[in-house]
Each structure stands twice: as structure tokens, then as C-alpha cells.
Structure 1
């Protein structure tokens, strides 16, 4: 049975517009899209089935262009030193502004990312405002509300990390007077994120039956909260949360390269993934372009954007299996047997988003079935290591760190030796380096460096400036629509 295929069914994408809820007709499975029927708002929010459609819409929206394609790689990846624009020199050259920090508030990818996160939040707020009044199974109702809070927290975390202060909207606007709200101080946004994740963790199950595989779990809420707390420097909380997650049955998938292949999605290391699928019987169902935009250019694999840098390639220690599992090099043959052209626009491509060429389905976005890994257990181990070290527990820090390094040896004796230092700063530097190579091309490096206070040191040669580039500019379109109620970030 194709469990992931069952998960990707039953989408209802809700549009808060002209009083209508646009709800595709649904079958008995989770997130496959039939883009036809519409359902007026006045007849919606009545039944348990309506609640299910609405919650499923939240998950479906996570795989859209603004969440996983150009806007996401621009805002969350290209600014770092492990990724750059890629493709041909003239193709989408506007993305270079994110790499050299010349981007301005008029750049469309900022707007696309902003809109995508607030679309997620809008869908969550509709669920949270309307499902409580529906007469339905009480346990399912409570779980649906928790799932919405998890995704809302995830979207606000992406926003606050990228822009700093952002408008905090926790309910659907009741009238026009509530549409235009100012930016909320980031401390309040973070507090709302933490509350949502606390609420979600109290309710969400640790596991699901196969038909619901991929929904937010207790482990996902705790792990995301740990990451949020890490950005806030709450090391005691990070340590507590990660210790809890480490006792929940997760583990490292033995083969690092295979960890990112389609047949190993939602495995023992996976804590949360954005679920993607191609349903060949429903036109328009394959909405993800995550793999397409990053696939090997000059082949049927994709467009060749968001490519690894020489800095990343040089960051790996000798014998580290993650180098060849993260980077597709021009002229190589992949483990799946795909020969990569020896010439082309880019010397390297992202192997974590790679879908083997024989899995590309004609007529659909290349690799649209590839899930997007959001939180992995390896990240939890490294957060635990960092928190333990900051709390003065070098023994636990090294234990968690060295578990990640052990897999990266690939079973070869004598490479990637354990970290043995007892010096706090030396362990900290080792953990930061391990995050770079373990989580490369997974949209963490740029923000990691900034939270570590190393923006000038690491990104300064690229044009990064303290007092400005800790955040991106607020999209000018949003400022204009607010009639100046939204203010711009400093020095933009």
C-alpha cells in the first residue's frame, strides 16, 4: 500500500476572499487535489468532514511555490555561504541580490515568501476560529486544533527569523478595520510561537496510523520548540526539550544519502516533513516545485538553482560521506545511476532535493513527489549538544555530537574521529561546524550563523553588514498596502 499516496489526498484550499471558501471536492484520502468544485462559506464549517478538509488544506499549502521554491531559497538559503543562485548567469539574476546583500524591499521573492507564510497562518486561523463550534468527535477536534497551532508556529518562526518584527494575527479579521495591523515586536511573536507549540505538544500524538503519516506529531512540536528556544538562547529549555525528544524512539537513519530518497521518506529520523506527491489521475495535483527548481540543469532533472558552493565542498573532513551525499558534482554518476554531464552552467547541484531521472514523470513538475525535510533527529542531537555545552555539560554535548559524526564515517575506521576536547569554546566551534555539514542545503545555515553572532565574520566578504542584514527588508508592497502602518527595517 502506498501510504504516502493516501496522505496526499483530500485537500481543501481555503481562500479568505469575497466571502467564499474555495473547497475542492474530496475523496476518502488525504491530500490529492481535485481543483473543480467550490463550496460557499455559508455552507461550510458545519460538519466533521468540513473540519477535515480545512485542516488538510493547511498541509497542502505548505508545499506551494512560496513555501518551497524561489521565495524560500531566496530568503532562507542563498544568503548563506553554503549555497548560491546557480542556473545560468542571466537566469533569475535578481536572486543574486540575496547572495550579495544588495536586495531591496521591491524584490518579488520577499513578497512571495511573506504572502506564503501569511496564507499558511490564515488557513490555521480559520481552523482555530471555526472548528470549535462544529459538533464532531471531541478528540479529533482537539487534535485538529493542535495541528493548526503547530503549522501557525512554524510559519511565524519562518517570518520572525527572516524579518524580525512582523504583524501577529491570531484570528481571522472580522471586518475591514482589522485587516491592517502594525508590526508586533519579535519578542511577542516568539512568545506566541512558544505558546502554540506548548499547546500543540500537550495534545498531538506521538505517532499516527499509516493513513495519517506525515501529520504534525508531539515530537515535531517539541523539536520545533527546541529550535525556537535555541534562537532565543534559552539553553535550559533547549536541553529539556531535546532530551525529551531523544527519548521518543527517533534515531539516525543508517545511510545518510538514502535518508533523502523518496523511498525512505518519513523514516525513523524524520520528525516533520512537508508531504508531496504526484497523482497522475488528477491534473494540477503535483504542486511542489521544490525539486524542480533545484534539479540538475541541462538534464531532465530541473532548473539548477540554489546550488552548493565551493566553501561548502571544502568544509567537509576527509572521509565524510555527507559530502558526496549532499553535493552532485558535474561529471559524476549518482548512486542511482544517473550520469551528470561533465560540462554545464554549474559545477555542483543539491543532492538532497534530487529525484532520480527514471522517477521523473512526464507532464508534471520534475520531482514533485519529493518530500521536504523540515526537522530531522540529527538536528535535535546537535541542538542537544549545543545546549548541553552552553549549560556546562561537556560529556553530554560530546555524546550527542559524536553520534552524528559516527554516521558520517560510513563505517570506515580512522576517519572523523570523536570530538574529545573538554574546552567549552572548542566544543562550541565543533558543534557549529557539524551543523554546517550535517544540515547543509536544508535552509538553516544562513540563520544559524546570524544567531551565533558571526554574520560579519562569515558573510562580511559577501557584503553582509551588521545592523542591517540580520533581517531582510519588509516587502514594499506590504508597506504600501498598509498606508505606512508597517514600518521598514533599519537601513533599507
Structure 2
């Protein structure tokens, strides 16, 4: 059953002035706010009580559903570069996405700045919690948990940055004076080390689960699973195996019905390791900020803009009988499992089904589908990371067990389709696991970086314009270099 209040803490975060001088660097603009200034609490009276700590931590979760984190910039940086997604919509709509599709993007393109800003806003909110909450007199265990939650989100944000840009400025405290604002890029190895430290700290404190009012907060499983993913990008296979083995003992499982697992009434289900919590709360004007579903909704219907659509390559990648194909792709002319007819006149032949909200549940007074949670990490990915690590370390039996567990659900209970992978050949298994990641995690903002870390980008993306020794990362936003007066340097080739 869906918890309609989507956790009590989400209702509270609409009251937080996310961009007052209290929470964000002085460069932050008031236009970022959706909250009436009269509701803002002056910084001088803040950081005094446990309630202040709660508000500050809640603000971290609130900003995760912002456009910079899940909307237009995130789609540009994390999705349309992959071969599972392309721009879509009408030809003249959001044409800047074309430069990510064909890798012609330059450092002045605005979505680069939006994504950069989004991650550093997250980090700044986390740093303010980590700098100030330790000095508040409050319950010690709650204080420790709040600090762990902030470290988890900071690690998540830095992971997104280092994947996208390579070396990035590593800021682990709020600047105390002007001299601490302009800092150079930190080598990515040091950024990864800081991410791993935060995740170790978080996993040691975070609970395995929460009561219903707090479902959606970061858990021990989320910290361990994210750590496994961070380790995977560094090819630390023993760590990946260790962390995923532990997560596999924490009570997660695959949700039986793949398509239903993405619907509103099954948010935060048994497969969910971490979701960005989204909701429409009419009484809080700043609560319904997510554009995740709206941007990707079927154009030509009530659903949205029709951007970030599946590719023909993705549609052709599924094996016969794989239920994930129809659960991932809305086809022009079909009727969805929820009964929505998709007109044959819509501009694109395919749309993403994972962000889909049934038309009768769309509230047109807000962003379409603003109540749809964003699935950041699912147990299926934990199993596939476990399979990949086991294979790399020579544990063929475990690799096949974890891989075939994911494939079994994709059969949809139909015998004779998607047979188990039985090969004991390491390279054959590696390719099978990579293929399974492609179809299982399609349109979930991972494919582009997956192919790069696998060392296959020149082959997979080369025909689209991808160039080695350049497109492994995106350009640093030119404005960041300009305002740093040269302290920040540009990535090679840009």
C-alpha cells in the first residue's frame, strides 16, 4: 500500500528555506525558492535545537527531487549520451540534447552548469548539517543518524560529479571566509576516497529499516549498495562482492512484477534500496518540484514533454518473451496496463515507461507526475553487481546464480523463455552480465557511464561521435572556469 503522506518528513521540508543564507552559499539566488520568504527562519536563530537538525536534514532530501538532480540537466548528463536513450519529442524542442546525443557538446551548454550546481547544492546542505549538528544538544543516537544520512547524500552527489566530470573540487566543510571559496579540482582518486569514507561512516550508523513515517531515508543497505557501485567503478571487485553479499542478507528481494514495481502504489517496495521521495502536497507550494515524470511523459497526451525516449537499439536488445521490454517502453498506439490508450499520432514511436504515471492520477495544477518517486538503486542492480564481481574473481557459480535470479523474474512466469545462462567461460559470462545490465536498468540513468567503465565506449558510442581521451567525461561548465579566474581547468579536448 502506498503511504500517501510519503513520509512525515517530506511534509516538513516544504517549510525549509533551501536557498536562504542559512543553507546555501552566498552566490545562491532567491529565485531558487518556492517558499514564501516569511516562512524562512533567520540563520542567527538556527542550529539551536533537535528540531533545527531535523529541518536541516529534511532539506537535503527535499533538494534531491529538484530539476537539477532529476530533470533536464540530469537527463543530459546521465541519460541521452547512452545508447538506450535519445532526445525525442518534437524536432525543435530542447535541441540542446542533440549535442549530448552526438557528443558535440561544448562547455557553454547550460545543462552542464545545472547538473554541477545541483550536486554542489546537495553537498553544501550536507556540509552545513555535518558542520553544525554536532554542536546541538540532542539525542545522541538521532544525531549520529542525521550525520550518517548527510554523509550518504554527500557521497551520492560526489559520485555523480566524479562520474560526469572526473576531477572535481572536493569541499567537505562550509567555507569560513572568501579565501576558501575558490578551490582547485581534486584528483578523482581522492574524491573516490572521500566518497568511500563517507559511505563507510554512514553504513556503520544507519539503520536497516525505518518505521513508516520515515520510510525513504537512507539506510544501511543503501550505503552498502552505493559503496558497491562506487567500488565497481574503480574495479575493486573484492569490495563489490563483499558489500553486495552483505546487502543480499538484509531482507531485500525482487518485486515479483517488473512493470508494477515502478508504479505509484508500489513505491518503496521490497526491491527498493534507495528512492528519491516525491509527492504532491497541495498545502505546501514548494513540495511538488519534481519534473522527472513530466519531462519524459508521452508527448501529445496529458503526461508531459516526451523527452528522453528509448532507442531502437534498446528495443531490439531484449530477448523474445522478456517482459521488461513492454514494461520499459511505451509504444505508440498501445494501451498501457493501466488502460491509457497512446494515440498513433504522438511524435515518437517509443517513450519511457518507468517514469509513467497513469493519466487519471495526473494533477494538472502541478508538474505532471510530480508524485512519482525516482528509483535510484534497486536490488536487481545489487544482484548484477554481485554477479559481475563474482565473475571477475572467478566465482562462476555465484555469478550465474545472481545473474539468473534477475533473468528468472524477466520470464514473467512463462516457461521456455529467457533460459538460464549456463556457460562457465569468464568472458561469455561477462558479456551476459553486461547485457543484462543494459536491459534490466534501461532508462535509469546508468547506461552511458556503464559502457565507459567497461572500456567499450569507442565501439558502442563511436558511431555516434564519441572520441577516446575526451568523451570519457563531460566538459567543466565554462562559467565555473571563468569565475574561478583560472583556478579550475578544463577537461582535455574541450
TM bucket by the smaller chain?
Answer: over 0.9
The 3-state SS of whatever aligns with 1:325 is: helix
In the alignment, which of 173, 184, 190 is matched to residue 175 of structure 2? 173
Matches within 5 A, 1:252-401: 252-401=254-403
Among 426, 429, 449, the residue aligned to 1:424: 426
Where do residues 59-138 of structure 1 align in structure 2 (5 Å cutoff)?
59-138=61-140
In structure 2, what is the equivalent of residue 439 of structure 1?
A: 441
For 1:88 and 1:139, how far apart are their aligned partners in 2?
52
Q: Is the 8 Å Cα contact of residues 168 and 191 (structure 2) preserved in structure 1?
A: yes
The verdict on how the C-alpha distance between 1:138 and 1:144 changes in structure 2, with shifts beyond 3 A counting, is: same
Local SS of the residue matching 2:416: coil
Partners of 2:38 and 2:202 lie apart in 1 by 33
CA RMSD of the aligned region, Å? 1.5
CA deviation after TM superposition for structure 1 residue 35, in Å: 6.7
Map Cα deviations across residues 137-190 of structure 1 (whole Å, 9 max, x no partner): 111000000000000000000000000000000000000110000000000000
- Determine the C-alpha separation between the residues in 1 that align with 2:339 and 2:359: 9
Report Cα offsets for 1:209-245 as digits up to 9, x if no partner. 0000000000000000000000000000000000000
**How far did residue 34 of structure 1 move?**
7.1
- Distance in 2 between residues matched to 1:173 and 1:331, nearest whole Å: 54
Tell me if structure 2 keeps the 8 A contact 1:229–1:235: yes
Structure 1 315/21 Cα, relative in aligned 2: closer, same or farther at 3 Å?
A: closer
SS of the residue 1:426 aligns to: helix
Contact 1:273 1:371 in 2 (8 A): yes
Is contact 2:24–2:121 with CA below 8 Å preserved after alignment?
Answer: no
SS of corresponding position for 2:375: strand
Q: Taking structure 1 as reference, are residues 115 and 20 closer, same or farther at Cα in structure 2, changes over 3 Å only? A: closer
1:236 is aligned to 238
1:488 lines up with 2:460 in the alignment = no
Give the C-alpha shift of residue 4 in structure 1: 1.4
What is the rounded CA distance, in whole Å, between the counterparts of 1:99 and 1:351 in structure 2? Answer: 20
Equivalent residues of 2:5, 2:11 under 8 A apart: no
1:14 alignment partner in structure 2: 18
* Aligned CA distance change for structure 1 residues 62 and 51 (closer, same or farther; 3 Å): same
Shift of 1:39: 1.4
Any conservation in 1 of the 2:296–2:351 contact (CA below 8 Å)? Answer: yes
Distance 1:235 1:66 in 2: 32
Aligned residues of 1:35 and 1:284 also touching (Cα < 8 A): no
Query: Aligned residue for 2:31?
Result: none
> 1:21 touches 1:39 (CA, 8 Å); kept in 2?
no
Task: Give the CA deviation at 1:33.
Answer: 6.9
Query: Which secondary structure state, in structure 1, belongs to the residue aligned with residue 12 of structure 2?
Result: coil
Contact 2:17 2:37 in 1 (8 A): no
Give the structure 2 partner of residue 201 of structure 1.
203
Tell me the equivalent position of 1:42.
44
1:41-91 deviation per Cα after TM superposition (whole angstroms, max 9, x unaligned):
111000000000000000000000100000000000000000001110011
Query: Residues 427 and 71 of structure 1: is their aligned pair in 2 closer, same or farther, counting only changes over 3 Å?
Result: same
Distance 1:72 1:281 in 2: 28
Cα distance 1:36–1:318, how it changes in 2: closer, same or farther (>3 A)? Answer: farther
| 1:281 positional shift | 2.2
Distance 1:131 1:237 in 2: 31
**CA distance change for structure 1 residues 381 and 264 in 2, over 3 Å: closer, same or farther?**
same
Stretches of structure 1 lacking an aligned partner (at least 5 in a row) = 23-31
Closer, same or farther: CA 295–35 of 1 in aligned 2, 3 Å: farther
The SS at the match of 2:39 is coil
Deviation readout 1:187-214 (Å, 9 max, x if unpaired): 0000000000000000000000000000
Q: How far off its partner does 1:318 sit?
A: 0.2
CA contact (8 A) 2:24 2:124 kept: no
Instruction: Measure how far apart 1:5 and its partner are.
Output: 5.0
Aligned length: 483
What are structure 2's unaligned runs of at least 5 residues? 27-33
Contact 1:14 1:21 survives alignment (8 Å) = no
Structure-2 change in CA distance of 1:19 and 1:117 (3 Å)? closer
**Aligned equivalents of 1:275 and 1:317: distance in 2?**
33
Q: In structure 1, how many angstroms separate the alpha carbons of the residues matched to 2:150 and 2:428?
A: 40
Question: Residues of 1 paired with 2:123 and 2:23: CA distance?
Answer: 18
